[in-house]
Amino acid sequence: MAVKQFIRVIFLKSLTQGFIAMLALLAVLQSYSSIASAANSSAHIKGAFGPLHNWPIIPIAMILMPDGRVFAYGTNTAGAQDAKMFYAIWDPSLGTDISAFSVLPNTTNTDIFCAGHALIPATGQALILGGDALVNGLRNYANSDVNIFDPTIDTLIRQPQQMAYKRWYATSVTLPNGEHVVLGGRNDRFYAGSATKPATAASYSPIPEVRAIDGSWRSLPTAANDYAYGALGGASWYYPRAWVNPQGKIFILSHYDAAYKLDIANTGTVTKYQTTKPKSGRWELPSVMYAPGQILSLRRNRTAVTVNINSNGDPVVSLAGTPSIERLYGSATVLADGKVWVNGGSSSGNSLTGATLTSELWNPVTKAWSMAANASTYRLYHSASLLLPDGTVITGGGGAPGPIKQLNGEIYYPPYLFKKDGSGQLAFRPEIIDAPTTIVGWDEDFSVESDEVIHRATLLRVGAVTHNIDAEARFFGTVTIKSKIVTLRSPANANIAPPGYYMLFVWNSAGVPSVARIIRIG
Ligand SMILES: [Cu+2]
């Protein structure tokens, strides 16, 4: 199927572009053939990893851009934390050779190490909030800078507006109206002082802020809360786990054992849910929204829970099976079929003791866990996993600091990409011939055409991952449909599906997905 697609591209483009496409085709075929040889009879059940490949930086943060490329940042090209780091752009359609990557210098004067991020729905640009700062020669303070990565010119641009508060390790959530709220992060760090350097006290940024479409900011001082996104509640300032709920408010799942609702109206209101008691968690454990209003969260001691935030009342926590090990610093990724793939991590923290190469799959229907393919290297602190438009997952990074400096990535090929006969061969894929190229509204019909009879369609919001959290990821599935041209109904409203970019997959009778088309909902 990949062949068919790329040949099509070659015919459509100029000779030069055709040559580039031919190289891309060769690269992709090469990586596909190594998958096929590496895969085994269980690949259709457990999936399989492609070969380890080099990355020019450690991808601590990865954002899927609307053009299908990955914008990544984290370290310099030596894999070290650096006040003026580089960022990388990877085009997965060109394969995993180093030539598929561009490395560009960050000239903004902002250290974006461990910033917050999200996509801007109206422009398709990436919004990067805060990050690191060097104070008295010491790292891991914070800044209040705002930067935007513009994929049309591959440039990170410093914005004239600052946030009111400095934020290192903040979370940004895209709102139903296209604005963003930013939560948590460190304001200042503890330092005991020395003969030559003054002491500094730890402080955090418990007042959320909202960024308007025009780039201006307003603070929510009456929503200040140390337990929801500040100093307390199990380091709740550390990348708060937050999503827009179906009522249009912000749901915050504490790292510890509580949950909160933030209403951004006026100067903000935050409420602790009285009956929602998720099991004790940690900031090193991942959570992901795997269905509308449904979150899977890994908690302490090999427990997993689902949190249903669909009702108007308190969200409901339910047990969700038992992961094989505790995966501190592991990642959870919702796949194109709605299952969740969990990989990486260590039972002891950012250490090879207890680190695992295993991965596992969680079934949202049965709530059961099953073992999946084994990676070739460890993914610990500062690693990340991101679903790509071809239905694979890039997992990469780790280090700065860590037991291993991981200037590399691996691609995970989920079970749905393989023939079901146990041959370990990749299945033939349906192709999307036609899909919307203009903005699709909410609760609106749109059609998609495939070269095969479509049995299912799924829609996944493009991800933005870092530090075991992807506040953007969302999954939508359809009921059985059997036609080459089908009419689909877009999600009901902007609370369920915030404006932005979504991967549309169609599935054939063999349960194999197409490469996604990225459509815009807004
Ligand atoms: Cu970090």
Closest CA to 238 of 189, 301, 178, 303: 189
Three-state DSSP class for 151?
A: coil
CA of 114 relative to ligand 1 center, distance in Å: 4
Q: What is the pLDDT of residue 104?
A: 95
Give CA–CA dist 301/62, Å, rounded.
Answer: 28
CA of 294 relative to ligand 1 center, distance in Å: 26
Question: Whole-prediction pTM value?
Answer: 0.93
Name, in order, each residue with C-beta under 8 angstroms of 19's C-beta and a sequence gap of 6 or more: none
Place of tokens 């954002």: 63
Give CA–CA dist 375/373, Å, rounded.
Answer: 7
Three-state DSSP class for 28?
A: helix
Q: What is the pLDDT of residue 41?
A: 87
CA of 517 relative to ligand 1 center, distance in Å: 32
CA of 404 relative to ligand 1 center, distance in Å: 15
Q: What is the pLDDT of residue 16?
A: 45
CA of 234 relative to ligand 1 center, distance in Å: 17
Closest CA to 152 of 66, 268, 278, 211: 66
DSSP secondary structure of 187-225: EE--B---SSS--B--EE--S-EEE-TTS-EEE-GGG--
Torsion of CA 166, 167, 168, 173, to 10 degrees: -160
CA of 72 relative to ligand 1 center, distance in Å: 13
Closest CA to 66 of 370, 513, 472, 508: 472
Query: Which CA distances in Å does 40 have to 245, 280, 373, 417?
Result: 41, 38, 10, 13
Contact at 8 Å (CB) between 384 and 466? yes
CA of 398 relative to ligand 1 center, distance in Å: 10
Name, in order, each residue with C-beta under 8 angstroms of 153's C-beta and a sequence gap of 6 or more: none
CA of 372 relative to ligand 1 center, distance in Å: 27
CA of 467 relative to ligand 1 center, distance in Å: 7
Place of tokens 């996604």: 516
Q: What is the pLDDT of residue 38?
A: 52
DSSP secondary structure of 284-323: TS-EEEEETTEEEEEETTTEEEEEE--SSSS-EEEE----
Q: What is the pLDDT of residue 32?
A: 55
Instruction: Report, in this order, helix, strand and coil percent for the chain, each rounded to 5.
Output: 10, 35, 50
Contact at 8 Å (CB) between 384 and 344? no
Query: Which CA distances in Å does 106 have to 20, 63, 179, 294, 388?
Result: 27, 16, 25, 37, 25
> Which token pair is 430?
């349906």
CA of 170 relative to ligand 1 center, distance in Å: 10
Three-state DSSP class for 478?
A: coil
Q: What is the pLDDT of residue 39?
A: 56
CA of 503 relative to ligand 1 center, distance in Å: 28
Closest CA to 62 of 401, 382, 514: 382
How many other C-beta atoms are found inside a 10 Å radius of the C-beta of residue 56?
20
Q: What is the pLDDT of residue 151?
A: 97
CA of 401 relative to ligand 1 center, distance in Å: 9
Residues forming a β-bridge with 273: none
CA of 331 relative to ligand 1 center, distance in Å: 14
Give CA–CA dist 370/385, Å, rounded.
Answer: 19
Give pLDDT tens digits along the chain (522 positions).
332 222 222 223 343 444 444 545 555 554 555 564 455 789 999 999 999 999 999 999 999 999 999 999 999 999 999 867 899 999 999 999 999 999 999 999 999 999 999 999 999 999 999 999 999 999 999 999 999 999 999 999 999 999 999 999 999 999 999 999 999 999 999 999 999 999 999 999 999 999 999 999 999 999 999 999 999 999 999 999 999 999 999 999 999 999 999 999 999 999 999 999 998 999 999 999 999 999 999 999 999 999 999 998 999 999 999 999 999 999 999 999 999 999 999 999 999 999 999 999 999 999 999 999 999 999 999 999 999 999 999 999 999 999 999 999 999 999 999 999 999 999 999 999 999 999 999 999 999 999 999 999 999 999 999 999 999 999 999 877 899 999 999 999 999 999 999 999 999 999 999 999 999 999
CA of 225 relative to ligand 1 center, distance in Å: 22
CA of 99 relative to ligand 1 center, distance in Å: 27
Contact at 8 Å (CB) between 410 and 52? yes
CA of 238 relative to ligand 1 center, distance in Å: 9
> Which token pair is 246?
């179906």
Contact at 8 Å (CB) between 447 and 455? no
Phi and psi at 9, nearest 5°, equal -60, -45
Q: What is the pLDDT of residue 12?
A: 32
CA of 394 relative to ligand 1 center, distance in Å: 19
Give CA–CA dist 229/250, Å, rounded.
Answer: 12
Contact at 8 Å (CB) between 63 and 419? no
Q: What is the pLDDT of residue 35?
A: 62
> Which token pair is 203?
């402080």
